[in-house]
Structures are given as structure tokens and as C-alpha cells.
Structure 1
Amino acid sequence: MVTEIYVDNIIFGSTSQKQVDEFVHLMQEEFEMSMVGELNYFLGFQIKQCKEGIFISQTKYAQTLVKRFGLEKARHMRTPMSMNQKLTKDEHGKNVDPSLYRSMIGSLLYLTASRPDISFSVGVCARYQATPKESHLKAVKRIIRYVHGIAEYGIWYSKDSNSHLAGYSDADWAGNIDDRKNTPGGYFYFGNNLVTWYSKKQSSISLSTAEAEYIAARSCCIQLLWMKQMLEDYGLQQRLLTIFCDNKSAIDISNNPVQHSRTKHIDLRHHFIRDLVESKTVVIDYVATEKKLADIFTKPLDTTRFEKLRGEIGLCQL
């Protein structure tokens, strides 16, 4: 029996159904609980298992979302966000119903649990929930039209895999038009399977691409260390953790423990990555830009590259 507790959430499992039933009964006697089956129903998860692996999708939820907002007859889009569109506060734009806009964003955020391909675009649109404009609503509707076209897609988890942790980091330097802050993104593999990802705007402004990529790699390190600790609680030991980055300058900064003019302005909290590299806990490896899968979490892409990366991170139709 394995049990994982995080704040007020509990994940448990066992090879014995009897143990699972006994644990459920015991917890329900002590606490008021919502079972995972109820959560799966609410979020529309469909889980299909076979000898080769597990396929997780939210097809029914996605289809319901499209109908809820009246876009079932709208033309499908092949990408969730246009490369030519840069969202801003649009202070002179026409106001739209904020309740409707927030409802759309909230519904899409639930869908990102199985659809990492929309994480970046939903995150960008979520920045404008306070005073949404017509341009923002148009961008959200495009995401829903994209979801409508491939509602059956989900994540494939193969059983034919190793147990090595690896992370991929990226950053879109000064990509936000309003404040010129960066949007770092990262995704993490356990063997051949994508297990978690993030796309979040940084709170500080970076002065160069190298600095933005360096800070993104630092965020990646934090996530990997947490995952390593969790896996060790399950008895799965991890050795050297690998982070892939396409910026050689950021890798050089990580490997150089000496403070110099290029890095003295960077907040000290970001430099702990150097200690991890020096202690051989983490290694930062170079990956060519064309093979950088994390691009899908940091910037809008053209149709060809977006669809290529979407397939490579494990999104497919069973």
C-alpha cells in the first residue's frame, strides 16, 4: 500500500483491491472526503489501459466545454494561438463580460490537466481576467475552437520505459508586451513519459536571453528535486538529474561557480543551481534549438512546428 499526502489531497494505491477498499472505508469513517472517482467524473477523465500502457484524456469534458460556450459549429483551428497575435492589456479595446471570460478561463484550466498543448495559451489569456477586452475573448475562443478539433487527444503513458528523471527548460525573453517579462516553461519526463509541466510568467525582468534561460533552468531544478524526493519515498532512487537547455551561455553560467560582471546583478536565490551542478546532483546538457520540446510552453508556434512538438511530448489520439 502506497499513500501520498499533499496538503488536503491524498493519492493512494495498492496491488490488492481489498487493501484499497479497507483504506477507503477507514478514511471515510474519520474524514469527510471526495473520492477520486467523483473528481474524475467532474473533470471528465477517461482512462484506458492495455498491455502497452495507459491513455488519459478528457474527451467528454472537452466536448461539453465547446457546447457550453456555443462554439460547436465554429471552424476548427490547428493551433491554440496565432504567431502573429501578441496580446496586451488593450486599454482602448471594447469591454466584454468578465464573468463569461473568467468562466471560459476556468474551464480551460481544468482541461490542461491532460492537455499540456494549451497550457501556454490559456496562461497568457488568464492574465487579463481583471478587465477582459474583445481581443482577449477572441483569443480564448480560438483556444476552444482548437480544442474542438482534437477533443479526443490525450496523453499516452508507455509501460516500456525506464525510471530516470529529466527536465527540459526554456524561456521566451521579454515576450510579454505589457511589462517585458519572460515566460519560462518546463516539462519533466519520468523515463519516456511526460509527467508534469509548467508555463508561468517570471516575476522579474531579465536583462538577456542567457539570464532568462538561466532562471528558467533554476525553476526546473526546484521541480526535479521535489520529484526526486517523492520518488525516493516510493523506493525509487535517482542518481544524476538531467536538465536540457538550448542556451550555451546559460549552461556556462551554471557550470561556473565564480561571480563575475555578467551575473552579479542576478538575485542570489537563482544561483543555488551552481551548487547542485558542482555537487553532481544536477547536470545541464545542451539540446539543439530544433529539438527543444519546451518551445510549446513558452511561445506561439507555426502549425507545422506546433503539431510536431505536440506529438513528441506524448499527445495523441488512441
Structure 2
Amino acid sequence: MLLTVYVDDLLLMGTSQRCEAVAAQLATSFELVALGPVKYLLGVEVVVDRELSTVFFSQAAYIEELLRRFHMKDCRGVSTPEGGTSEIEQERVDATQIDTLPYREIIGALQYLVSGSRPDIAHVVRRLGQYMSNYGADHFAQAKRVLRYLKTTKDFGLKMNVTGSAEVELLRLEAYSDADYANDQQDRQSISGYVTMLNGSVVSYGSRKQGLNAQSTMEAEYVAMNEGARDVMWLRGLCDELMWKYAVPTLWCDNTAAISLFKRPGKHNGSKHIENRYHYVRNLGERELIAVRHCRTDQMAADIFTKPLARIEFAQFREMLGVCRRDQQGGAVEAEDDRAASVCMVVMFAAK
């Protein structure tokens, strides 16, 4: 069984007998309040569907509260969180204007959504977060556009497919990495995006500025590969700790030049300047701890984390991440046998 702890929230996962035994043991040292099968965890709604073998994570109630809080409840919705260009002017504002715009509050709230169940807004929230101390009307308008998108998709959440241990011998660990070369209009740095999956379900993702000026698209993609490799190795270590068996992790990349650099050790004219730390992914390959494979650009799930996308493309990549409407998965099944009770039990504790 598994036990996770966050401050005074405990999540027990296992058979009902084991959960009850562990809870009873903890109760000898702490005051416990048993909350039954998990429905909410850290503000995220959790819907377990045994018929479809899925778990659905949603923050719809939180989104509704945001729309009310920032007076956007009756706004007109949009189909994408950002427009077709990544350029936002870096505009200085005076202290009076800063005090009148709740920009920081909106971005902070959006960051919580990104960390919980909404990877589809990770790129735009990262980009807007760059201007927390230097924003203006354009930035505020873009932040409100994200809220308008959330108005349209408030019932969307992150769906994970559940596979029983008896159905698979080796878990499939995968990471997708991508980059948008010289994306930032201010400093011309590239943006890395990555998403890590366990048996096809998203478990980790990120959108980050690279912090260096890549000299080519190949270099930007290679740096992004390093981000993806680090994340999938974290998942590999977690599986080791849980004693889960898995196949060699796969890192997917859509740039053949970057893959060629991964496979060819040594220094080359176009890459000899690349810092040693970014060759971490190559070292993993040489030790056969990771495999790098090519995928088509239209199958690159991390593309959504690197740049704004048009409506149709955005919807396609969003679907790849498992972000969908709640009604696309069946309702939760409240079975009463031991198998149902083994879903989760959530208990809270406080020291005596």
C-alpha cells in the first residue's frame, strides 16, 4: 500500500483492510478524522470511475470562484488561452496603476491551476509570470483572456487511465520534449516544454525559458531534451522506490539534428560550445538508462508548452495530454466490495 502526507492531509492507497490497519496504528499517536474514499485532495476534485478505469482531476469549483472574484463570471468565453503571437510588450507602469490592477493575484491563482489539473494553460501562465513586477494594460488584458478561456473550459480536467498490476508486466515511462527557438521577443531566448507520462497518462509537465541564447534550433531542442530526460529519470527513480517494474524510459523528440547530436559523441563545429550539463541526456543514453526516439511534429505532445497555437492545433494537443470535459468520462462508481474500498481513504491528523 501507499501513504502520502501533505501537512495534515493523509492519502492511504491500498486494500480496505490495510488502510484501516495503518489508520488504527496512526491513531495511537495522532487524532485522525476519516474522510472515506477520496473526493477532494488539496483543493482538487478527484473522480474515480471503475467502469472506465479512469481517474479525473478537476478544479471546476475553483475556476468558478476565480471568475466571480475577478468579475469575469459573465464574460464571453474564448477557445484558446492566448492569441496567435507570443509577443507582449514589456511595459513599465507607475505605482498607482499597479495598485489598481489585480494582476499578481490572477497570475498566482492561475499558477495553482497549472500545478493541479490544467497543463493546457502552463505556457501562457509562465509567460505572464515574467511580468509580475513590470506589467501594464496589455498584460492584464492577456490575463483576463486566460480567464475567458477558463470560462469556456471550466469543466475540463486531467484524465488519467488506470492499469491494474495484473494487466501489464512493465510500466511504460515516456517523456516528450520540444522547444521554440528564440521565442522570447525581449531577449531572444528559447522556450523548453516537456511532459512526462506513465502508461500514457500525464504525471508531470513544464514550460520554461532556457536561460541561454541557443545558437540554432538544434541546440534549443537539445537543451529541451535535457529537461525531458531529467524529468523522466525522476519518474524512474520514483518507480524504483515503489518497486514498480518498467521498461527503459523513452524520450521523444521531433528534431532529427538534436537526436543525431545525442547519438554522436564528441565535439562538432555546431555544438562544441554547448555547456557540459546539457550533455546529461547523452550520458544517460550511453549508459542505456534512456532511449531517444523521433516522433512527428503533429504527435509532439510537448508542443503546447512552447508557444501559442491556433484553435484546432491547440485542441488536438490538449486532447493528447488527457485534458477533456468531465462528461467525457463516466460518473464515479460507488461500489461496496473490497476492490472499491481499496481506491483510497483520506484521513486528516493532528498531533495530540
AA aligned opposite 2:219:
E
SS at match of 2:176: strand
Instruction: Give the superposition deviation at 1:20.
Output: 4.4
Instruction: Give the superposition deviation at 1:311.
Output: 1.3
- Distance verdict in 2 for CA 1:121–1:20, change over 3 Å: farther
- The equivalent residue for 1:124 is 127
RMSD after superposition: 2.8
Deviation track 1:220-241 (CA, whole Å, cap 9, x = no partner) reads 1111111101111111123311
- The equivalent residue for 1:71 is 72
CA contact (8 A) 2:93 2:134 kept: no
Structure 1 position 203 matched with structure 2 position 211: yes
Q: Which sections of structure 1, spanning at least 5 residues, go unmatched? A: none
Distance in 2 (alpha carbons) for counterparts of 1:61 and 1:188: 25
CA contact (8 A) 1:98 1:132 kept: no
- The equivalent residue for 1:82 is 83
SS at match of 2:158: strand
Distance in 2 (alpha carbons) for counterparts of 1:98 and 1:278: 55
- Distance verdict in 2 for CA 1:197–1:8, change over 3 Å: farther
CA contact (8 A) 2:84 2:308 kept: yes
CA contact (8 A) 1:239 1:281 kept: no
CA contact (8 A) 2:86 2:184 kept: no
- Distance verdict in 2 for CA 1:38–1:49, change over 3 Å: closer
Deviation track 1:269-289 (CA, whole Å, cap 9, x = no partner) reads 111211211222111111111
Q: Which sections of structure 2, spanning at least 5 residues, go unmatched? A: 328-352
CA contact (8 A) 2:92 2:135 kept: no
Note the 1:230-245 alignment, pairs <5 A: 230-245=238-253
SS at match of 2:209: coil
Note the 1:231-270 alignment, pairs <5 A: 231-270=239-278
Instruction: Give the superposition deviation at 1:190.
Output: 0.4
Structure 1 position 157 matched with structure 2 position 165: no
Distance in 2 (alpha carbons) for counterparts of 1:188 and 1:202: 18
Deviation track 1:50-82 (CA, whole Å, cap 9, x = no partner) reads 322211111111111111100111110100000
CA contact (8 A) 2:178 2:193 kept: yes
AA aligned opposite 2:78:
M
SS at match of 2:68: helix
**How many residues get paired?**
315
AA aligned opposite 2:220:
A
Deviation track 1:87-142 (CA, whole Å, cap 9, x = no partner) reads 13124799443771111011111111101100111111011001211100000000
AA aligned opposite 1:142:
R
**2:186 counterpart (171, 178, 197):** 178
Deviation track 1:163-194 (CA, whole Å, cap 9, x = no partner) reads 21000000111101111111101001101211
Q: Could you tell which deviates more after superposition, 37-46 or 221-230?
A: 37-46
- Distance verdict in 2 for CA 1:27–1:139, change over 3 Å: farther
AA aligned opposite 1:69:
F
SS at match of 2:273: coil
CA contact (8 A) 1:4 1:11 kept: yes
CA contact (8 A) 1:224 1:241 kept: yes
CA contact (8 A) 1:98 1:130 kept: no
Q: Could you tell which deviates more after superposition, 17-26 or 79-88?
A: 17-26
Regions of 4+ moved over 6 Å: 5-10, 35-39
Distance in 1 (alpha carbons) for counterparts of 2:37 and 2:89: 40
- Distance verdict in 2 for CA 1:160–1:18, change over 3 Å: closer
Instruction: Give the superposition deviation at 1:261.
Output: 1.7
AA aligned opposite 1:279:
R
- The equivalent residue for 1:221 is 229
AA aligned opposite 1:193:
S
SS at match of 2:77: coil
- Distance verdict in 2 for CA 1:242–1:38, change over 3 Å: closer
- The equivalent residue for 2:200 is 192
TM-score, with structure 2 as normaliser: 0.82
- Distance verdict in 2 for CA 1:46–1:267, change over 3 Å: same
SS at match of 1:231: helix
CA contact (8 A) 2:254 2:297 kept: yes
SS at match of 2:102: helix
Distance in 1 (alpha carbons) for counterparts of 2:232 and 2:141: 36
Deviation track 1:251-273 (CA, whole Å, cap 9, x = no partner) reads 00011111222211111111121
Instruction: Give the superposition deviation at 1:48.
Output: 3.7
RCO higher in 1 or 2 (8 Å CA, sep ≥ 6)?
Answer: 2
- Distance verdict in 2 for CA 1:275–1:9, change over 3 Å: farther
**1:295 counterpart (300, 303, 309):** 303
- The equivalent residue for 1:135 is 138
Distance in 1 (alpha carbons) for counterparts of 2:7 and 2:179: 30
